[in-house]
Amino acid sequence: QYFQRRRRRIALSQSQTSELESRPIELRSDEVLNGITGLIGNTPLVRIPSLSDALGVEILAKAEFLNPGGSVKDRVAVRMIDDAERQGLLHPHTGSRIFEGTSGSTGISLAMVAHARGYDATIITPDDMAAEKLHALRSLGAEVEQVRPASIVDKKQNIAKQRALAFSSASSPSVVSAVEDSIAVLTDSDARGFFADQFENKSNYDAHFDGTGPEVWRQTNGNVRAFVSGAGTGGTIAGVGRFLKSMEEDILICLADPEGSGLFNKVKHGVMFDHREKEGTKRRHQVDTVVEGIGINRLTQNIDLALPIIDDAFRVTDPEAVAMARYLVKHDGLFVGSSSACNLVACVRLAKKMRWHSGQRIVTVLCDSGARHYSKVRSTNDEYLHAAGIPIDLSLVEDMLTGN
Ligand code: PMP
């Protein structure tokens, strides 16, 4: 019934904080859920007290770190596998194997869901990936192949795709990817390699259009003024953004873009370039980034779906993301990853820019926990930050909250 209120004008007057306090209990199902994939999604929407109180605007965030694999990517992993099965690309318990190239959480989510569904997983990772992510992948039984960072995103010689093809050709000659034209007919005995391809695979977008987006709408009773998100593959902002716009076209969709990403300029000026171009536009796919998981310098199918519906973009610097990560720990006891911190910086910017009155709601995503990044997210590692010359300065957030 929520979804029948299409394009309804929403009165956004009074704060609903008190109403929020009693709600999370309803959000988790009290049915018995079937296996670990039953725990994916339906995450609580949590109010961020420090920022909301200081701004007088409600900053609400989807607690995606509560997914069983620890991040928003669980949703995408299960959807990519479900869709591949529906398309006849994968049959469970046939010795089939899922392949993906990723430095992010998608590998961990795929490794987890693969085994729950009767597959194995091979994850191709950059050789500088955070040690804890490597441990997580191996603990989940994934086979890990470490390569130079640049070769993960190289479209022409995508290693994950090559591995999937090679694996399949052992038992059957053709392909393997939901985004390929040629799809082989499978027999139950075919052991297949499936290249998940989160950047180009529309199942990524669909996971958010059919899942995260409707959850946000339901949890806010449609009372939401803006949705803010960074984009790595673009699946979250495209899927949630398009769903929310389909319900109420005036909901603003805003991009939080870290330093080194070309998306901010694409949204603002129509051209994708990194403002620090001279230092190398490929920074987002290389080592030494503070904000992990978001920011990109190339167009993908999921980014293409996002661009037309993005209303505004905010560039977030590394020191700002670091400051926000620390600020949240200090004031809210919330230890989130740097992409979540980046999202919240953009929420503050938006609230300030729009001069919204109290009770207006901005929704964003807490993609994963800071615990996933101890050794490398850098926003949690003083030594790294110090060596990189990035200040840990909470007054950056305080100024943002009090300034105009
Ligand atoms: N945060 C983190 C930590 C991620 O790993 C990712 C995915 N790369 C994102 C945010 C961005 O999500 P999306 O791919 O849907 O744009």
Q: Which pLDDT does position 180 carry in this prediction?
A: 56
239 lines ligand 1 (CB under 6 A): no
289 alpha carbon – ligand 1 mean position (Å): 14
13 alpha carbon – ligand 1 mean position (Å): 32
The DSSP-derived string for 177-239 is: BTTSS--PPP-TT---EEE--TTT-HHHHHHIIIIIHHHHHHHTTT--SEEEE--SSSHHHHH
Beta strands in 81-172 (DSSP E): 97-101, 120-126, 143-147
ipTM above 0.90, yes or no: yes
Q: Which pLDDT does position 287 carry in this prediction?
A: 38
330 alpha carbon – ligand 1 mean position (Å): 24
d(CA 299, CA 284) in angstroms, rounded, equals 13
Locate the ligand 1 atom nearest the alpha carbon of residue 76 and give its number.
Answer: 15
Q: Which of 293, 294, 297, 319 is nearest to 373 (CA)?
A: 293
**Distance separating the N- and C-terminal Cα atoms of the chain:** 40
Q: Which pLDDT does position 312 carry in this prediction?
A: 98
Q: Which pLDDT does position 184 carry in this prediction?
A: 46
Q: Which of 197, 232, 207 is nearest to 89 (CA)?
A: 197
Catalytic residue among 62, 73, 202, 245: 73
| Beta carbons within 8 Å of 103's beta carbon, 6+ residues apart | 125, 126, 129, 133, 149, 152, 292
Q: Which pLDDT does position 383 carry in this prediction?
A: 80
235 alpha carbon – ligand 1 mean position (Å): 8
Alpha-carbon separation of residue 331 from 50, 142, 173 (angstroms): 6, 37, 57
Q: Does 352 qualify as catalytic in the annotation?
A: no
Phi and psi at 180, nearest 5°, equal -90, 155
Structure tokens at 83: 């869709």
Structure tokens at 57: 């605007």
Single pTM value for the model: 0.87
64 alpha carbon – ligand 1 mean position (Å): 11
Q: Which pLDDT does position 377 carry in this prediction?
A: 53
With contact defined as beta carbons under 8 Å apart, do 300 and 200 qualify?
yes
Structure tokens at 46: 């949590």
Secondary structure of residue 15 in the 3-state scheme? coil
50 lines ligand 1 (CB under 6 A): no
Locate the ligand 1 atom nearest the alpha carbon of residue 104 and give its number.
Answer: 5
Tell me the residue type at 113: V
Phi and psi at 99, nearest 5°, equal -120, 140
- Neighbour tally for 283: CB within 10 Å: 20
Mutate to test the pocket of ligand 1, among 242, 344, 367 (most ligand atoms within 8 A of CB): 367
Tell me the residue type at 187: T
| Residues of the chain falling short of pLDDT 50 | 1-27, 173-175, 181-188, 278-287
69 lines ligand 1 (CB under 6 A): no
With contact defined as beta carbons under 8 Å apart, do 112 and 209 qualify?
no
d(CA 367, CA 61) in angstroms, rounded, equals 9
